[in-house]
Copies of this chain bind each other. A is one copy, B any other.
Amino acid sequence: MQSFRSPIGLELSQTARVVSRAFDDALDQAGGSLPVWLILLNLKIRRPGNQRELAEAVGVREATLTHHLNALDARGLITRRRDAVNRRIHVVELTQAGEEAFLRMREAALAFDRRLNDGLTDADRDNLTGLLHRLAANVGAAENDSPPWAGLAEPPPKPGRRPTAAPGTGAAE
C-alpha cells in the first residue's frame, strides 16, 4: 500500500538496465557479453538452420547478428562456410577456442543467475514471469514460444549432459 507509485514501465526499464549492466560486467570477465553469450549458447544447444533463426533466438536483427559474427570470426571463436546444398546459407560453427569460451561464459552466466535469484522462491519466479508476460501482452507482443533452455547444466569438462537445470542466464538490455 504505497501512496505514490512510479510508473510501472519506468520501474521495469530501470531494473532491466541495472540487471543487464551487472550481467555484462559479470560476463566481461569471461570475455563475453549478453548477445555473445546467447549466440554461443544457441549455436551449442539448438542447431539453428540459418542466421535468421539464430538472430531471433538471440533477440537481435540479422544485421546486428552479422556484426557479432564478424567479431567472433575475427577472434577465432566461430567459422562460417557456405552450405554445399544451399549456398545462400552460411553454416556457423564453434571452433575449439569457441567451445572453450562457451564453457567459461557458462560458468559466469550460471554464477550470475544464482546471484540474481538469491532469496527468490519458485513461486516468486513464476509470479514475476506471469506479471512480465501480462505487461508484454498489454503492449501487443507476440509470445516467444521457443524455450530451448534445457539439457544444459553444470558439467564443464565432460560433455555428459544431464536433463534438468537452468543454463541460459540472461540479463536486460
Chain A residues engaging chain B, CB cutoff 8 angstroms: 1-20, 22-23, 34, 59, 109, 112-113, 115-120, 122, 124-129, 131-136, 138-141, 144, 147, 149-150, 164, 166-173
The residue on B at minimum CB distance from A172 is B13
With contacts A18-B141, A22-B140, A118-B138 taken as known, whether A132 is within 8 angstroms of B6 at the C-beta atoms is no
Q: Within the complex, which residue of B132, B139, B169 is in contact with A7, where a contact is CB–CB below 8 Å?
A: B169
Q: Report yes or no: A8 in contact with B125, Cβ–Cβ below 8 A.
A: yes
> In the complex, A17→B38 CA distance in Å?
16
Q: What are some 28 contacts across the A-B interface (CB < 8 A)?
A: A4-B150, A5-B126, A5-B149, A6-B147, A6-B149, A7-B149, A7-B170, A8-B116, A9-B169, A9-B171, A11-B129, A11-B132, A12-B16, A12-B170, A13-B16, A15-B16, A15-B135, A16-B172, A17-B59, A17-B172, A18-B141, A19-B139, A22-B139, A23-B139, A116-B138, A116-B139, A117-B138, A128-B132
